[in-house]
Copies of this chain bind each other. A is one copy, B any other.
Amino acid sequence: MAAATGHVVSTVSNALAGKRHVNEETRRQVLEAAERLGYRPSGVARSLRLRLSSTVGVLVPDVSNPAIPEFLRGIDDVAVREGYTILLCNTDEVLERQVSQMQTLLDRRVDGMVLISQHCDAPEVRKILDGETPFVLIQRRSARFRDDYVGSDNLQGMRDSVSYLAGLGHRRIALVTGPVSSSTATERMEAFEGAVQELGCARDPQLIFRGDYTVQSGYEAMHYFGAMDERPTAVIASNDVCALGVQDAASELGLSIPRDLSLLGCDDIDLSRLRRIDLSTLHLPKREMGATAMQLLLRRIQSNRPPTAREVIIPTELVLRGSCASIA
């Protein structure tokens, strides 16, 4: 490229980047030549030189789980605005996969990472997190460390949920929880247990089913609940996707929602507001949360001294639709 213009590389570089002053005429020539040749500076070379890749890795359990893309979209919104590109990695909740993906991201010298509901306490993971590369956690935080984190207010949310159902007269309320490794799942479960006790509802461990945030697990949960001698009159699912499975099994069992069973979700995925689904749920502004996480990450990337960790807890809001009713 330099050759083509008759100017030296540094002049070309400066003309293109507009960093230092170059003669207007020189500049014009360079720009013209670049245009004509379709020349564009190599981001790779720049990354090597600057030791900055303008790239962030995002780890997700599985993009095709409906709850995930909305976070992703929020992250992307601010990433694009700030000139970053996203490297996407699916981990399927499998620790080794997560570790190897993180390693790959590091090898590619990403400027930072966003971990959406990923393992963050496993020693292999922690070892990477303790390195130089900035990161932010979404919806799953460490039990032992304080990191940059964006998550929902699970305590308040679950309390609202239980007290809403209790207000409708329900006393046997079941919970389909998420995987043990998920702090959000754990927090929601603990809040559930607390609220159930406070509000004088049944405290039956059998009413808690361990799921894994999938439709399938909600489906299994409901079949399990349905087979109990004393069925729950209401079910809270730890996320909407899983609530969809509960709905499905309920139909199969001939249980009408909300007549025979009240159902409450968490997350408020886009589909929950469809009349066919019509799921009452805790709304979570996922796109905004993704954006917030990315902003936190950028703050850390761009600051010279590592800022102190910040945890952003987003309040949830109960969205009442048609899946709950007072007990007959």
User: Which residue numbers of A lie inside 8 Å of B, CB to CB?
Assistant: 38, 40-45, 47-48, 53, 55, 58, 62-66, 68-70, 72-73, 76, 80, 85-90, 101, 103-109, 131, 215, 244, 247-248, 251-252, 270-271, 274-277, 287
Contacts and interface: CB of A to CB of B under 8 A. Distances in A.
Contact of A87 (B70, B86, B277): B86
Contacts of A88: 58, 72, 76, 85-88
Contact of A44 (B68, B109, B270): B109
Copies of this protein, total: 2
16 contacts: A40-B103, A42-B107, A44-B53, A64-B70, A76-B88, A85-B89, A85-B105, A85-B108, A86-B88, A86-B89, A87-B87, A215-B270, A248-B276, A251-B275, A271-B271, A276-B276
B76 A109 contact: no
Contact of A73 (B64, B105, B215): B64
Interface centre among A68, A86, A89, A271 (most CB of B within 10 A): A271
Contacts of A76: 63, 88-90
A247 B276 contact: yes
A115 to B, nearest CB: 16
